[in-house]
Structure 1
Amino acid sequence: MVFEEKMIMNGEPEDVSSFYIFKPDPLEAVRQKCAETEHCVHTQARLEQCETRVGSRSATEEDCTEELFDFLHARDHCVSVNAISKIFH
Structure 2
Amino acid sequence: MSDKAGSEDPKPQLEEECGDSHHCHSFKERLEACSARVEGGESEGETCVEEFFDFMECVNHCVAPKLFSKLH
TM-score normalised by L of structure 1: 0.61
Q: Which runs of 5+ in 1 are unaligned?
A: 1-20
What is the number of residues matched between the two proteins?
67
Structure with the bigger RCO (C-alpha within 8 Å, sep 6+) is 2
Cα shift readout 1:9-39 (whole Å, capped 9, x = no counterpart): xxxxxxxxxxxx7653211121122112112
Give the TM-score normalised by structure 2. 0.73
For the pair shown, the structure with the greater C-alpha radius of gyration is 1
Work out the CA distance in 1 between the residues paired with 2:43 and 2:26.
27
Which structure features the higher share of helix residues?
1
**Structure 1 residue 80 and structure 2 residue 64: aligned?**
yes
Q: Does 1:61 align with 2:45?
A: yes
Q: Deviations over 1:43-87 (max 9, x none)?
A: 111101001111222771111000000111000010112234x25
Runs of 5+ unmatched residues, structure 2: none
CA-atom RMSD in angstroms? 2.5
